[in-house]
């Protein structure tokens, strides 16, 4: 039986700039300080540990200063950083697990994990170096660390299901986790696929939510999916599908993302001035607003071009 031997290490300094935060157990927002934005919002992380939300309303025509909320940083169960935001309607700050890669902030991200197996007492760092000699830079177990869809002025909704990955040099295993009302403990379960086996977490704690991949006291994963994958530069594809996903990896190899970032660091230096300048613009109205009713729809134009024999 070929077993993937790993050591449980998903903790230390998992993304850039947050090492100091982890060591000092700081709760301030210094590692995130600055202005971040995407196509529909700007989030300013301030020195007073508050978040200023600016919504780009009306398709970005108007910048609306929507809310200011207090926040702090925390360290998650898996070593990831958690942004905790205090909403007026909630007694406790709400958890937003985040991963930062090259000034890009992700909500869908994965951290490299090493699971201790039955022969852990014989494990050495030489074994880890052997593991890293595999052809694929993705080789091994990647634990899902994000479970919210956005950083908003409303309480976030958490995902009911998550997917973790285990990569070999040529194949990838998809491991499904779902929310479970159980106390969190560090446990492992087996994934057996013929002559190849490995261990993964039985339970995940992402933010404040616990997820599981087995029912009850199960000790091995009954259902999993497997396919091939191919890395092409900064993209990755799965199976025979032509769709390519973006591939973002942190410089130290501890973080991974297969989606575009939620927000990126903005080039805005003065937020107040940027809002005032943007909102001073006027947008020309339609020459004749009633013309919109005279336009033909695509199916009407198609019908006109059709001939009946």
Kindly state the tokens that stand for 98.
């985040």
Burial class (CB in 10 A: 0-12, 13-18, 19+), 123: middle
Kindly state the tokens that stand for 224.
């999993």
Element holding 237 (H helix, E strand): strand 235-238
Q: Which residue has the higher pLDDT, 117 or 202?
A: 202
What is the Rg, in whole angstroms, of the alpha carbon atoms belonging to the chain? Answer: 24
| Mean pLDDT to the nearest integer, 122-137 | 55
Mean pLDDT of the residues in the chain:
85
Kindly state the tokens that stand for 40.
């529909």
What pLDDT does residue 295 have?
A: 66
What pLDDT does residue 147 have?
A: 97
Percent of the chain with pLDDT over 70: 78
Q: Residue 134's pLDDT band (boundaries 50, 70, 90)?
A: confident
Q: Which residue has the higher pLDDT, 18 or 265?
A: 265
What pLDDT does residue 59 have?
A: 86
Asked if residue 245 lies in contact with residue 237, where contact means CB atoms within 8 angstroms, the answer is yes
Of 11-15, 72-76, 149-153, minimum mean pLDDT range: 11-15
Is 130's pLDDT higher than 70?
no
Q: How far apart are CA 239 and CA 137, in angstroms?
A: 18
Q: How many other C-beta atoms lie within 10 A of the C-beta of residue 152?
A: 19
The backbone region for 25, taken as left when phi is positive above 0, alpha when psi lies in -120 to 50, beta otherwise, is left
What is the dihedral sign for C-alpha 255, 257, 262, 264? positive
Nearest 5°: CA angle at 146, between 142 and 151?
155
What pLDDT does residue 131 have?
A: 52
Instruction: Decide: helix, strand or coil at residue 201.
Output: strand
What pLDDT does residue 282 have?
A: 75
Q: How far apart are CA 197 and CA 191, in angstroms?
A: 5
Is 23's pLDDT higher than 60?
no
- For the chain, what are the domain ranges? 2-305
What pLDDT does residue 25 have?
A: 46
What pLDDT does residue 305 have?
A: 72
| Mean pLDDT to the nearest integer, 83-100 | 96
| Mean pLDDT to the nearest integer, 105-121 | 76
| Mean pLDDT to the nearest integer, 116-133 | 44
Is 6's pLDDT higher than 80?
no
What is the dihedral sign for C-alpha 262, 268, 33, 10? positive
């Amino acid at each position: 039986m070929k077993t993937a031997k790993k050591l449980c290490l998903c903790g230390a300094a998992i993304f850039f700039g947050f090492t100091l935060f982890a060591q000092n157990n700081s709760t301030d927002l210094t590692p995130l300080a600055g202005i971040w934005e995407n196509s529909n919002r700007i989030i300013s992380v301030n020195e007073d540990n508050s978040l200023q939300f600016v919504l780009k309303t009306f398709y970005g025509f108007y910048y609306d200063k929507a809310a200011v909320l207090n926040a702090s940083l925390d360290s998650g169960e898996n070593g990831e950083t958690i942004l905790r935001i205090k909403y007026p309607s909630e007694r406790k700050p709400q958890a937003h697990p985040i991963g930062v890669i090259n000034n890009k902030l992700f909500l869908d991200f994965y951290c490299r994990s090493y699971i201790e197996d039955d022969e852990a007492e014989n494990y050495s760092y030489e074994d880890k170096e052997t593991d890293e000699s595999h052809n694929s830079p993705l080789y091994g177990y990647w634990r899902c660390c994000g479970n919210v869809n956005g950083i908003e002025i409303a309480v976030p909704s958490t995902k009911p299901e998550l997917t973790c990955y285990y990569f070999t040099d040529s194949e990838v295993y998809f491991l499904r986790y779902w929310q479970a009302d159980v106390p969190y403990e560090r446990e492992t379960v087996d994934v057996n696929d013929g002559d190849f086996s490995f261990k993964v977490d039985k339970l995940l704690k992402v933010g404040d939510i616990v997820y599981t991949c087995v029912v009850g006291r199960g000790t091995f994963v009954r259902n999993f999916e497997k396919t091939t994958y191919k890395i092409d530069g900064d993209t990755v594809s799965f199976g025979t599908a032509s769709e390519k996903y973006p591939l973002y990896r942190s410089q130290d190899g501890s973080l991974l993302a297969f989606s575009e970032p939620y927000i990126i660091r903005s080039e805005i230096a003065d937020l107040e001035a940027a809002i005032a300048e943007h909102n001073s613009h006027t947008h020309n109205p339609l020459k004749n607003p009633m013309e919109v009713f005279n336009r033909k729809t695509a199916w009407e134009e198609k019908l006109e071009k059709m001939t009946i024999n």
